[in-house]
Chains A and B, each alone.
Chain A
Amino acid sequence: QKEVEQNSGPLSVPEGAIASLNCTYSDRGSQSFFWYRQYSGKSPELIMSIYSNGDKEDGRFTAQLNKASQYVSLLIRDSQPSDSATYLCAVIRGSARQLTFGSGTQLTVLP
């Protein structure tokens, strides 16, 4: 079982729709959770961080964390073509400070 799993996609949504990205993790000791966006040929850019159960909203982005289900998601409202990228779920496990990444979900927002 992979430590961090994401549905690899590709995921396509029409402009203005809600894009839903999902991630599960295997280590119950995981404490910190992140969503990064990576455009082709570029390095990852932090979108959201979430540390406690529930929802966290920042503009068009909402991160949801459910530690009991070991599940974290990212919702993108009013999706724009500029949101087209690969979205990486990352987790910090236990006392370590290293990020463990999922394989990423490629999102395409169709104009």
Chain B
Amino acid sequence: GAVVSQHPSWVICKSGTSVKIECRSLDFQATTMFWYRQFPKQSLMLMATSNEGSKATYEQGVEKDKFLINHASLTLSTLTVTSAHPEDSSFYICSAPTVSGEETQYFGPGTRLLVL
């Protein structure tokens, strides 16, 4: 299957700082990427759809000013958690469909964020 990478794999930060998470498609171009968040013992919840060359689309209840998304190129999307707080501690996972119109999505390995 297609390969999607994320960096960093885990991060610990102090409350009030900002954290940037990168999502890269390694062997294909992705005009669209998706960002999910998963709390312990819960399923994945879609946060936003990242679109190359245009603004991200956020799901209801997700603060766009807190979770900044930049789709800088066809292989890179970044999620920045601004002024992180302990309640933002979670497992953040990105995914990308391989080809425009192809429905199958492949997930990155995830980034575990712990805000102290």
- Chain A residues packing against B (C-beta within 8 Å): 31-32, 34, 36, 41-46, 49, 51, 88, 92, 97-104
What is the predominant secondary structure among interface residues of chain A facing chain B?
A: strand
Q: Nearest-CB distance from A10 to chain B (Å)?
A: 12
A99, B42: Cβ atoms closer than 8 Å: no
- B residues near A88, Cβ cutoff 8 Å: 43-44
- B residues near A92, Cβ cutoff 8 Å: 103
What is the predominant secondary structure among interface residues of chain B facing chain A?
A: strand
Closest to A36 in B: B107
- The answer to whether B78 has its CB under 8 Å from any CB of chain A is no
Given contacts A88-B43, A88-B44, A104-B43, whether A46 and B106 have CB atoms under 8 Å apart is yes
CA distance A44 to B34 in the complex (A): 13
- The answer to whether B80 has its CB under 8 Å from any CB of chain A is no
- B residues near A49, Cβ cutoff 8 Å: 103-104
A42, B110: Cβ atoms closer than 8 Å: yes
- A residues near B32, Cβ cutoff 8 Å: 97
- Chain B residues packing against A (C-beta within 8 Å): 1, 32, 34, 42-46, 49, 91, 93, 95, 97, 103-110, 112
B43, A97: Cβ atoms closer than 8 Å: no
CA distance A32 to B107 in the complex (A): 17
- A residues near B109, Cβ cutoff 8 Å: 42-43
A43, B103: Cβ atoms closer than 8 Å: no
List 3 tightest A-B contacts by C-beta distance, closest first: A43-B110, A32-B103, A43-B107
- B residues near A99, Cβ cutoff 8 Å: 34, 44, 46, 95, 105
CA distance A103 to B97 in the complex (A): 22
Closest to A49 in B: B104
B104, A46: Cβ atoms closer than 8 Å: yes
CA distance A37 to B105 in the complex (A): 13
Task: List 25 A-B pairs, Cβ < 8 Å.
Answer: A31-B103, A34-B104, A41-B112, A42-B109, A42-B110, A43-B93, A43-B110, A44-B107, A46-B104, A46-B105, A49-B103, A49-B104, A88-B43, A88-B44, A92-B103, A97-B32, A97-B97, A97-B103, A98-B46, A99-B46, A99-B95, A100-B46, A101-B43, A103-B43, A104-B43
